Homo-oligomer: A and B are copies of this chain.
């Protein structure tokens, strides 16, 4: 499974980078290959200062070795070996009318450390998939929110009618900026610890996760296409930079993915490529009553059922 999924995310990375370069029309991804001293490494691809994308990263990594102490505590396990691979992306567009998007699809295995790495009979103690995709608008176009969620639902419904409501709710809960008492964005899907059950084999989960991965460009590109050439003002841009500050706060204070990267000695620049290019913090900022900016805040205070 780990080889099959790692193959998949390599191809998906190519497809997503191609789709994003095409819509940008100007900037290209640069690639950095990196190695993790304790085992594994990654292929980081970053795009900056494009016509459409101000900054973005579409990264894959596959890391393995002894599970670090901090992660043992986190997963509540003893000394085990692990393998983890995944694709992680964040796109920060320049135009404040285009939402930021984040997605991640990952696979995790834990092994009994008494069998040596590479042994054909190596015992997998536990394995699971996780991931999702979510949208963070600066100005809310309901049409965009609905399109994004409908694409998510279509992908989910092919596998179970229970998945969209469940993973949509988990997304709203996970991307909650608790100290601000508001959502990071308008959500999407979030799933974790997707393990083999009576209903779902690991192959079934693979099919589901790759279905979601394959839906990403369908979910995001039409929104970019519709909004990338809309006019915007300096005030719109300031609002975008202030909201990006909330994105930074979520990622550095609450995000478990960032934590995982930092605790497993991941490559810092690959982990923190998620941080936006230009950001502002203005003391006690409140948008004008009745403004578009205030409308967004009201939406973020109470997650919406978009479908």
- Chain A contacts to B: CB under 8 angstroms: 32, 46, 48, 55, 57, 179-180, 241, 245, 248-249, 252-253, 262, 268-269, 272-273, 275-284
Contacts and interface: CB of A to CB of B under 8 A. Distances in A.
Contacts of A249: 252, 272
Contacts of A282: 48, 277
Contact of A262 (B179, B241, B273): B179
A283 B268 contact: no
A275 B245 contact: yes
Contacts of A245: 275, 279
Nearest to A245: B275
A240 B31 CA distance: 26
Contacts of A278: 241, 278-280
A249 B253 CA distance: 9
A94 to B, nearest CB: 14
A283 B262 contact: no
Enumerate the 6 nearest inter-chain pairs by beta-carbon distance, A residue then B residue, closest first. Answer: A252-B252, A275-B281, A279-B279, A269-B284, A46-B283, A179-B262
B180 A268 contact: yes
Contacts of A57: 283
A134 B272 CA distance: 26
Given A180-B268, A278-B279, 12 more contacts: A48-B282, A48-B283, A252-B252, A253-B253, A269-B283, A272-B281, A275-B281, A276-B281, A277-B281, A277-B282, A278-B280, A279-B279
A276 to B, nearest CB: 7
Given A249-B252, A262-B179, A273 B283 contact: yes
A273 B281 CA distance: 8
A230 B247 CA distance: 34
A180 B57 CA distance: 19
Contacts of A275: 245, 281
17 contacts: A32-B284, A48-B283, A55-B281, A55-B283, A179-B262, A179-B268, A180-B268, A248-B248, A248-B279, A252-B252, A269-B284, A273-B283, A275-B281, A277-B280, A277-B281, A277-B282, A279-B279
Contacts of A262: 179, 253
A212 B139 CA distance: 47
A69 to B, nearest CB: 15
Contacts of A180: 268
A69 B249 CA distance: 23
A176 to B, nearest CB: 14
Contacts of A280: 277-279
Nearest to A269: B284
Contacts of A252: 248-249, 252-253
A297 B48 CA distance: 24
Contacts of A281: 55, 272, 275-277, 279
A281 to B, nearest CB: 4
A119 B191 CA distance: 52
